[in-house]
Chain A
Amino acid sequence: MRLPATRLALVPRGSPSLLWTWASPLLALGLTVACGMLLFGLLGKSPWQAVSMFFVEPLASKRGVAEVLLKATPLALCAVGLSLAFRANVWNIGAEGQLIAGSIAAAAVALAGAGSGGWLVVAAIVAAAAGGMAWASVTAWLRDRFNANEILVSLMLVYVAQLLLSYVVHGPMKDPAGFGFPQSPMFDRAARLPLLLDGTRLHVGSLLALAAAAAAWLVLARSVIGFQLRVAGLAPRAARYAGFSSRRVLWTTLLVSGALAGIAGGAEVAGPMGQLTPSVSPGYGFAAIIVAFVGRLHPVGAVAASILMALFYIGGELSQSRLGMPSSLTGVYQGLLLLFLLGADTLIVNRLRLRAAAA
């Protein structure tokens, strides 16, 4: 058999490349943009419009930037929690469900406390964290007690949460004066998150996301539990040898990621929405999985990646409203980004080399 004179080969590196750990997401982004341009071209639009819709237009005004940060907030909150869990090999795929549970809990507090004024919003956000935590604790308990696979359990609980949300907005929390629409009454002023920038919808939830990222960074870099969850993820036998409790790691990561996802849901209903509706989340909890990996499971990376992902959401909406492109574009771009990232990540432990082929 005759082979071409040379071929591309993947050669293992001695140790993982730090450069490619961070260059890989950038390469993946570049390939996604190139593919996006090609896609626009095939759909009969100018490829440059793709760049413009996704990366120029959304950032062209103060309001635009605020909208990007607004969308990035729930993504960052979820992704920071997921980064901690994924590092410990705890595969919480159900941030979407925990986010919904948090939004229901926040709405319940906001509606029950209507008229009480004061710090109602604080109670609502605390309830949101508790709601997300409670939802995640089901997964933790089933894994701990029965060794049930947390990927399946957390994922299936997303659908349970979606049905629960549908039930409460059609039933107990439905606005009596809402003309039969499945949504709750609008919350009081006191149950809404304060705005950060006048004339925009950006709220203090964004600061919560930044604080969460900073705290998670500190935990990973300096705390004993952060060290334990890194070891549990990298070398489970070494964790057992050191005497680290795998149950402690499981519960901590699930409860923390659940709480952060819950806060993300609470901040949505107490922030831009101001009420509970069946469409609390356009899949933030799932997109946050991609965000966490693009951000290299690092809390600061998660913040940067959440802004990128927010651009995809807004660019997709703009392409739909201005150019009549299909609304599924956002999902296509998210998928492309993850696909290219997984491919590019092989360069972290391998190098590409042109080899003379064996005859």
Chain B
Amino acid sequence: MSAVPRLALRGITRRYPGVVANDGVSLEVGAGEIHAILGENGAGKSTLVKIIAGAVAPDAGTIEFDGRPVASADPAAARAIGVAMVYQHFSLFDSLTVAENIALGLDRRLARGELAAAIRAAGERYGMRIDPQAHVHDLSMGERQRVEIVRALLAQPRLLILDEPTSVLTPQAAEALFATLRQLASEGVSVLFISHKLDEIRRLASRCTVMRSGRVVAVVDPRSESEQSLARLMIGGQPPQIAAHDTAPGRARLLVDGLRLSEGGEALSFEVRSGEIVGIAGISGNGQNALMALLAGERASPAASIRLDGQPVGALGPRRRRALGLRYVPEERIGHGAVPELSLVDNALLTVDRLQQRGFVRAAAAAAYAGEVVHRFDVRCAGTHARAGSLSGGNLQKYLVGREVLAEPSVLLVNQPTWGVDVGAAAAIRNSLVALRTRGCAVLVVSEEIDELFELADRLMVMAGGRLSPAVAAHGLPVDELGRWMAGRWPTAQQ
């Protein structure tokens, strides 16, 4: 590593209303170094790379590139000095060819033939062969990512940033990507790699900055750490606060028996009983969303693989399951749990089926229901006719949780209940879940926040790689152990 780092961040701070996304973050990446940033959802990783790429201005702090200060919040300037970014969500036009897509993303103009030759040459050199004339809609996810990376490489970057690059890749494609990244590093390109997959970071990176709640908590050499120790750094090692749960759980209301997330996937079995909260911990992207979609009825499964109060419901749609008492708060508020363009009243109609009668909307009843949710759950808004999209994240989440809780479900599924929500709203949401549990509801919570799960859950399971660990009493699982489970290594029944 040369004396002057390729990239040096000092004291970067960025505040958003209600949250400090980056709090005095310092980071150095040397020339030819592969540097990983590890952290939970909401730890501030994405904000940080947006600041480096010039998409977001920091409130305080300095950025230096090769020892020279860089003007912030200027994406073109960042590109000009050699920063290239590969985003998690592809920004490609399906109907255009590879070459056309790449031409759109380049700052300089190249003749058509020249560009195709450059794409082929870069592809040969880095083992990322791609046909410049292929249409993007014909490409697999891995090939689309190659297009993004080749586009970044054609800009001859000196710092390549990849945001969760393997989230859409098969293991083989990920391995090929790592080979390319190692080759780039050996040629002197610095690579900044954002991930929450512990094994990848250990295989690929020579340094790892661990972030938690907007702060850097550690800078380590991941090759000399274990997955367990990395997980502990990521989630924090403080003894968790365990809420006192005095109700004894009752009979099983939600029974999952041999449910598979995909064809050939492992069969999952567990139960959630009346009067308990079961938490599913784990790093997101390990099958939690697929599991929730199956449980809520957005995807169908064999009828007997999911039972509600004994009745097989696997083949029923969401509406029929709601009629039987099962309700769901999805992870994404905008566009999934709520329609942002519609009012809070209209959004109540989405899942509160008794607001309909003989094919018509009961407008007065819907307004009353929405008003009740706003009042009881302290939703700050300009009235029930405000567009859902005009509410802050925390208030909309309170509304969505309130909408389902007010309908008194017998089983409630909640995916990331307080994701991106300010502290006050998060506490209100957790309280309403605990109160619902006390009234006898069976609650299943998926969360990436360990502290939240220890606060809420009576029993815990861990999800990793599409598999579920056995359920254990939440207070019987040390954080150390949890870290190992999150890497997919829990004791199996045979042992």
Contacts and interface: CB of A to CB of B under 8 A. Distances in A.
B387 A238 contact: no
Contacts of A230: 342
Contacts of B356: 224
Contacts of A238: 335-339, 350
B319 interface: yes
A222 B361 contact: yes
A177 interface: no
B360 A235 contact: no
A243 B318 contact: yes
Contact of B319 (A14, A222, A243): A243
A221 to B, nearest CB: 8
Interface in A212-245: 222-225, 227, 230-231, 234-235, 237-238, 240-243, 245
Interface in A157-199: none
A222 B351 CA distance: 17
Interface residues of B, number: 31
B266 interface: no
A147 interface: no
Contacts of A237: 332, 335-336
B199 interface: no
Given A237-B335, A237-B336, A224 B359 contact: yes
A61 interface: no
Interface string A1-28: 0000000000000111000000000000
A273 to B, nearest CB: 37
A238 B359 CA distance: 19
B25 to A, nearest CB: 27
Given A238-B336, A238-B339, A15 B387 contact: yes
A356 to B, nearest CB: 16
A241 to B, nearest CB: 6
Query: Chain A interface secondary structure, helix, strand, loop or mixed?
Result: helix
B410 to A, nearest CB: 17
Contact-residue bracket for chain A: 10 to 19
Nearest to B352: A242
A16 to B, nearest CB: 8
Given A227-B346, A230-B342, A240 B298 contact: yes
Contacts of B339: 231, 234-235, 238
B342 A234 contact: yes
Given A227-B346, A231-B339, A242 B318 contact: yes
Given A15-B387, A234-B339, A234-B342, A227 B298 contact: no
B328 interface: yes
Interface string A68-91: 000000000000000000000000
A245 B363 CA distance: 22
Contacts of A231: 339, 342, 350
B415 to A, nearest CB: 11
B157 to A, nearest CB: 24
Given A230-B342, A242-B350, A243-B317, A235 B359 contact: no
A166 B337 CA distance: 51
A241 B328 contact: yes
A245 B316 CA distance: 12
Contacts of A241: 296, 298, 318, 328, 330, 336-337, 350-351
A225 B341 contact: no
Interface string B295-322: 0111000000000000000000111101
12 contacts: A14-B390, A222-B363, A224-B359, A225-B359, A230-B342, A234-B341, A237-B332, A238-B338, A238-B339, A238-B350, A240-B298, A242-B350
Given A235-B336, A238-B339, 14 more contacts: A222-B360, A222-B363, A223-B359, A223-B361, A234-B340, A234-B341, A234-B342, A237-B332, A238-B350, A240-B298, A241-B328, A241-B337, A242-B350, A243-B317
Interface of B: 296-298, 317-320, 322, 328, 330, 332, 335-342, 346, 349-351, 356, 359-361, 363, 387, 389-390
